[in-house]
A and B are shown apart, each in its own frame.
Chain A
Amino acid sequence: MRRLVKTTFGVGMTFGLALTAVVGVAQNKAFAAADWKPKKPVQFVVMAGKGGGADKAVRLIQSIIAKNKMAPYAFTPVNKPGGSGAEALVYMKQKNGDDHTIMFTLNSFYTTPLRQPGLGIDITTFTPIARMAEDTFLLWVNSDRKDINNIDDFVKAAKAKGKAWIMAGTGKNSEDNLLTDFLNKAYGLEMKYVPYKGGGKVAKQLAGNNADSTVNNPSEQLGFYEAGKTKALAAFTPKRLPLFPDAPTFKELGKDFVYFMQRTVVGAPGMSAGAAAYYQKLFTKVFNTPEWQKYRTKKSLQGDLLVGDGLMAYWKNEREVHRQMLIKMGVIKS
């Protein structure tokens, strides 16, 4: 019964959204658009490699769609990890007007086009489908560090070690790098940022005492955290996370800083309105399945469902936020 209510709610909501999407389009197109369905398997591009957080989410979504028979054709994941998403973005751009190619994106959706204007990517030309979640970030240290139990201890220890303090993260200029820069600036530290390939490897560096701290997503540290090998000191979220009630937010600590990683589905630029409406409806349904909700709770994911114009507005805002961050880091000039 509860499930039925949820689904009805989802369908009702998408109907509204489908209408909004259609309004902007010419009348004659709108009628044909209402019942668009995939005519062949849908390519589900992943902006990252196999086995990472985004890839896991895509494979879960693929299986949710297949298991509940939500679409007439399969959704096939295709990994395009090259160049921090540059490869995937260029690919999507080339797929202009294609109704059977969608992509799962991260924050490199903003940063890569900003850092590489030569790619000629304008993310506002992409078709917004649905934001499925926002991943969160926390500051972590190894549990062996009995002397570090809160952010003040952390700052003291990191200051004492100076440039020898190792912060492991996922690639230069990545989300982790932005957060490290923030911490260095906010607390007057000189932590050294060492990039590794993938969040899982970063988490392992900390658990194996090959790094002093990390800013992992909860899903990446969960295994070690539950085994008592690592501990979370503070969260880059507006409110404390239910899974980590003892980790205060940076806001509470007097540094007004919040940072999320989007987990969003986008369509190729120039996708037909009918197809966009179809995918928005489909992913709203996926969002409301018990499987996806369970995954969100387990991985401590935040961020409500966001579709269509609301998602586009969110992108524009986030892109501006990232532009400012990259300017401050000295990565780009304007």
Chain B
Amino acid sequence: MEILGLLMDGFAIALQPLNLGLIIVGCALGLIIGAMPGLGSVNGVAILLPITFLVPPTGAIIFLAALYYGAMYGGAVSSIMLGIPGASTAVATTFDGRPLALQGHADKALIAAATASFVGGTISVVLFTFFAPPLAHVALVFGAPEEFALMLLAFATFVGLGGDDIAKTIFSICIGLVLSAVGLDIMSGEPRLIFFDIPGFFRGINFLVLAIGIYGIGEMLWTIEETRATGGAKISEATVTFKRTMAALREIMGAWKAGLMGSFLGYFVGILPAAGATPGALMAYGVAKQISKDPDKFGKGALEGVVAPESANNAASTGSMLPMLTLGIPGSPTTAILLGGMVIWGLEPGPLLFVEQKEFVWGLIASLYAANLAALLINIAFIPVFIWVLKMPFTILAPIIFVLCLIGGYAPTQSLHDVWLMVGFGIVGYLMRKLDYPLAPAVLAIVLGPLAEPALRQSLLINDGSFSIFFSRPYSAPIMIVALILLFLPLIKLVVNKVRVKKAAA
């Protein structure tokens, strides 16, 4: 087995004292950065990129990859504890992670997130080790039609299984899609929806601004109202004891199906350039709900709802390194920066990297195994601290969250425009919630919209406006058909329900 030999050489590199130290420091830093709402792996990697010039390239990529990994673990922390996704990859984790925390099970949710991340990370690194070249080929032939089919599938897994009020869900999606269309349209080269000629809209609306707005600020407003009405939530019931942890682990084992599915799905979506970890995690959540025996539990604190997206986003973050290394195409915004780093270190990503830079590639792969274990241990060690924070009185916690939200909104673009926008979304989000509109579909739409729209228009442009292109290609046709079936499921449900109601009335 040539691969095993190479992997052993890789471990020899990854376990050198300097590199091992870098892995541990990187994971810990990443965990903290990921846990801060708004500061995701993208910012962490970008900020720390220049520091890596102090160590050799292999050490540098190991450090940044560990940071990336740590941030994936950390993203779940703010999703669960505060209900604010720390990064787009952790959006799906809020759906059930937050309810679990509100029910006093924050410890269980955090342990589930950590172990699921570990499983997803490990499975994907193993896949990476043995199947990199053939998968690189799949990533290469994936064109615009396939990309669109995949995005549609991501939508469909959600909508098809969506909330109780289909009309409100669709309304919410539409709002998200409109917001995602703001900014420059690359297909026509013209700016769109530049409200009141404010230059900040040229950049478009960042997903994080919307997510922090409605989940952070909106959620806080909501909690203030709730706390006044009920006199405090059950949130502080969570504690870390050996007995509770063991019970939690047993329960998490029961969600193995969701974890396994999330890992594979996340990895395969991750290797496709442009998709990245966010659609992977969202799809994993949707599929987990579909295969669950008790789908009604989802959104109300289902453990599978934490396990599936968390295993998927870690698997996808490993997966997205594949197109970066073999094609020189970043699979996610974070790998785009890593790619920049590689160029600066004098490495040329591309099909030849695996041949010419064996030490670098295998050192990195081996370090992913080590980073995974390090991140798990560090994360578990920190859980009591997180729980302690959660027990702070809400009157103290709320202002801290508010400040974190403002920083999180400002940090990525350093523009006050985004901060105001975020506050606005927070208020609108709160009102929508009062009116019982689901907010998750809007967030989903603003994440997937900018990926789906150009892919759709590119495909149609190539094929002179005919939709047949989606059904005539070997990869896009099956994905498209599954997506359409899932998409029309609620419509069929709606019609069937109407008919039933009529019959009942008659």
Q: Which residues of A contact B (CB under 8 A)?
A: 43, 49-51, 55-56, 59-60, 62-63, 66-67, 77-84, 86-87, 90-91, 115-116, 163, 166, 171-174, 177, 192, 194-197, 200-201, 203-205, 207-210, 222-224, 226-227, 229, 294, 298
Contacts and interface: CB of A to CB of B under 8 A. Distances in A.
B330 A229 contact: no
A207 B143 CA distance: 11
Contacts of B273: 201, 204
A91 B349 CA distance: 34
Contact of A83 (B191, B330, B349): B191
B73 to A, nearest CB: 22
A91 B189 contact: no
Contacts of B203: 80-83, 87
A333 B343 CA distance: 41
B202 A204 contact: no
A50 B337 contact: yes
B237 interface: no
Contact of A82 (B46, B183, B329, B351): B183
A87 B199 contact: yes
B325 to A, nearest CB: 10
B333 interface: yes
B344 interface: yes
A83 B202 contact: yes
Given A172-B186, A194-B458, A201-B274, A86 B140 contact: no
B336 interface: yes
A222 B343 CA distance: 12
A58 B50 CA distance: 11
B327 A207 contact: yes
Contacts of A226: 348, 350-352
Given A51-B330, A192-B461, A83 B183 contact: yes
A167 to B, nearest CB: 11
Contacts of B189: 84, 115, 171-174, 177, 195
A204 B138 CA distance: 12
Interface of B: 42, 46, 49-50, 53, 140-144, 183-191, 194, 199-204, 273-274, 327-330, 333, 336-337, 339-341, 343-344, 346, 348-353, 413-414, 454, 458, 461-462, 464
B140 A204 contact: yes
B184 A208 contact: no
Given A82-B183, A204-B329, A208-B140, A51 B204 contact: no
B144 A224 contact: no
Contacts of B413: 78-80
Given A50-B42, A51-B339, A78-B413, 9 more contacts: A59-B341, A60-B344, A63-B344, A172-B189, A200-B329, A204-B327, A210-B144, A227-B352, A229-B351
B126 to A, nearest CB: 26
Given A192-B461, A223-B351, A172 B143 contact: no
A66 B50 contact: yes
A51 B191 contact: no
B462 A192 contact: yes
A49 B203 CA distance: 10
Contact of B414 (A59, A78, A166, A171): A78
Contact of A208 (B143, B185, B201): B143
Nearest to B342: A56
A77 B341 CA distance: 14
Nearest to B343: A56
13 contacts: A78-B413, A79-B413, A82-B184, A83-B191, A87-B200, A91-B199, A172-B187, A173-B189, A196-B454, A203-B328, A222-B328, A298-B346, A298-B348
A115 B199 CA distance: 16
A224 B333 contact: no
Contacts of A63: 49-50, 53, 344
Contacts of B340: 50-51, 55-56, 59
Contacts of A174: 189
Contacts of A203: 328-329
A227 B199 contact: no
Contacts of B336: 49-51
A236 B131 CA distance: 39
Contacts of B50: 59, 62-63, 66-67
Contacts of B202: 82-83, 86-87, 90
Contacts of A196: 144, 186, 454, 458
A173 B188 CA distance: 8
Contacts of B185: 172
- Among all A-B residue pairs, the 6 with the closest Cβ atoms: A223-B350, A51-B336, A82-B203, A172-B189, A83-B202, A210-B143
Nearest to B145: A210
A195 B141 contact: no
Most chain-A Cβ atoms within 10 A of its Cβ — which of B186, B200, B353?
A: B186
B327 A223 contact: yes
Among B46, B50, B142, find the residue whose CB has the most chain A CB atoms closer than 10 A. B50
A298 B348 CA distance: 10
A195 B186 contact: yes
A39 to B, nearest CB: 19
A86 B197 CA distance: 12
B458 A208 contact: no
Contacts of A210: 141, 143-144
B204 A82 contact: yes
A195 B337 contact: no
Contacts of B186: 171-172, 195-197
Nearest to B274: A201
A172 B188 contact: yes
A116 B294 CA distance: 55
A67 B344 CA distance: 13
B122 to A, nearest CB: 27
Contacts of A49: 336
B184 A200 contact: no
B56 to A, nearest CB: 14
Nearest to B203: A82
